[in-house]
Amino acid sequence: MNDPEPRGEYLLVACQAGAEDVVAARLTQALPGSTRGAWRRGVVTFRLPPGLDPSPADLDRLRDSIIVARSLFRCSGQIHWKDDAGRLEALRERLPQARFDAIHLYPRDLRALAAADVVADMPRRATAAGLAAAFPEATLGVARPGDLVLDCLSDGDDRWWIGWHRAQAPSTCWPGGLYPRPLPGDKVSRAWLKLDEAIATFAVEFREGQQVCELGASPGGACQRLLESGLEVVGIDPALVDPVVAAIPGFTQWRKRARDVPLRDLRGFEWVVADMNIDPTSTLEAVGRVVTAPGSRASGIIATLKIPDWSRAVELDAWLGQFRTWGFTPQARQLSTGGREVCVVALRTGGQRPRQGRDGSAGVRQARPARRRPDR
Ligand SMILES: C[S@@+](CC[C@H](N)C(=O)[O-])C[C@H]1O[C@@H](n2cnc3c(N)ncnc32)[C@H](O)[C@@H]1O
């Protein structure tokens, strides 16, 4: 770590294109007195309240509370120059004493751009090489926790937004908060990568042999990822799961809608994963049914809430409140590999098991069921 840290009176938040209003509403609520600055698709800046100098831990909490922030950094504005050499010189002048441990070079959310702009917005290889040469002590790419990171967000081929953050949580180590792992070729759907990012983001720990059900399992990428962690998986979905996944030992499919599974069949699961293309309120209803089923053993939830329109994000806090009513502590993030949706990971508060089922029966821990019967 290299101190002292540079200062900056602006914050920049990068997000999925379209989520800017959500960023603005949640940031100004969490940080009263901050005011909105520049605004582009995928990028919003804010002026900090006068005299406020938030610590890296404050900024981590702020980023987490925004939920849809991909990256958040102390911003010292834009550098606008027609070529890389000029921009690099201006950058050095702007940050004369700063030494960085890592450099994150990334574009605005590419989904925001028309095809022609995409080419312009992708940082060029020469740009990366120039930055690496200008800051030889810094690593270009994924940072380590504790690193002071130079953020260089390319916005068109002639300007950068620049600033810095202190890496800490996993997603703050990834350039732009973008999950750096590609989808391996042998996976049946992108849901594999999404779940992999959720596990890395929230440091989810499974224990081998745990029982998990996935609501909305087809075609099966997420089940594949769960099976690779050594879990016993029941995929619940009226649509068929890919035969590659169906053949993996430890997997069973119940071909039905979540609400058609009898409550008595839901009580053995320790984890509930949900990724259904239905309204968030219906997803919550289906998840709630599993975790409050009489005798439920559920201790963890990984739920994707698909947001039909970002205007529905005003309901985010109420949705998270639902997890608390079931006795779970939720954390949420719009994953970089996900679409217009939010991933919620919730662990049972205090690690306790549910006290009672809906019917008043005691939540007695069940003996681990034998291999599940395939659904007929
Ligand atoms: C985004 S896909 C799931 C992707 C999957 N998790 C994977 O890993 O490949 C959404 C799935 O939700 C299923 N679905 C929608 N409503 C459902 C319900 N009420 N119960 C169970 N599955 C449902 C759909 O059939 C669809 O296969």
pLDDT tens readout for residues 7-41: 558 999 999 999 999 999 999 999 999 999 999 99
Of 115, 146, 177, the domain-final residue: 177
Please work out whether the CB of residue 217 comes within 6 Å of at least one atom of ligand 1.
yes
Instruction: Say yes or no: 260 and 341 in one domain.
Output: yes
Instruction: Say yes or no: 55 and 119 in one domain.
Output: yes
Instruction: Say yes or no: 218 and 85 in one domain.
Output: no
Structural domain includes residue 98: yes
Rounded CA-CA distance 199/33 in Å is: 35
Task: Write the residue with the smallest CA distance to atom 18 of ligand 1.
Answer: 257
Domain count across the chain: 2
Backbone angles phi, psi at 207, to 5 degrees: -110, 140
Index of the ligand 1 atom closest to the CA of residue 239: 25
In this predicted structure, the answer to whether residue 276 has a pLDDT above a threshold of 80 is yes
Cβ atoms of 10 and 54 closer than 8 Å: no
Listed in order, strand segments (DSSP E) in the chain are 10-15, 35-40, 43-47, 69-80, 102-107, 139-140, 148-154, 159-166, 211-215, 232-236, 251-254, 271-274, 300-306, 328-333, 341-348
Q: What mean pLDDT value characterizes the chain?
A: 88
Residue of 330, 307, 334 whose CA lies nearest to 320? 330
Structural domain includes residue 360: no
Rounded CA-CA distance 268/302 in Å is: 17
CATH number, position 148:
3.30.2130
Give the three-class secondary structure for 259.
Answer: helix
Please state the pTM of the whole predicted model: 0.90
Structural domain includes residue 370: no
Task: Report the percent of the chain where pLDDT is more than 90.
Answer: 74
Average pLDDT (212-239) is 98
Instruction: Say yes or no: 323 and 345 in one domain.
Output: yes
Structural domain includes residue 146: yes
Structural domain includes residue 120: yes
Instruction: Say yes or no: 130 and 242 in one domain.
Output: no
- Residue 43 structural domain: 10-177
Structural domain includes residue 160: yes
Structural domain includes residue 214: yes
In this predicted structure, the answer to whether residue 373 has a pLDDT above a threshold of 80 is no
Give the three-class secondary structure for 376.
Answer: coil
And the tokens for 131?
Answer: 């930055």
Instruction: Say yes or no: 228 and 325 in one domain.
Output: yes
Task: Write the residue with the smallest CA distance to atom 23 of ligand 1.
Answer: 216
Rounded CA-CA distance 12/161 in Å is: 8
Task: Write the residue with the smallest CA distance to atom 10 of ligand 1.
Answer: 276
Instruction: Say yes or no: 170 and 288 in one domain.
Output: no
CATH number, position 337:
3.40.50.150
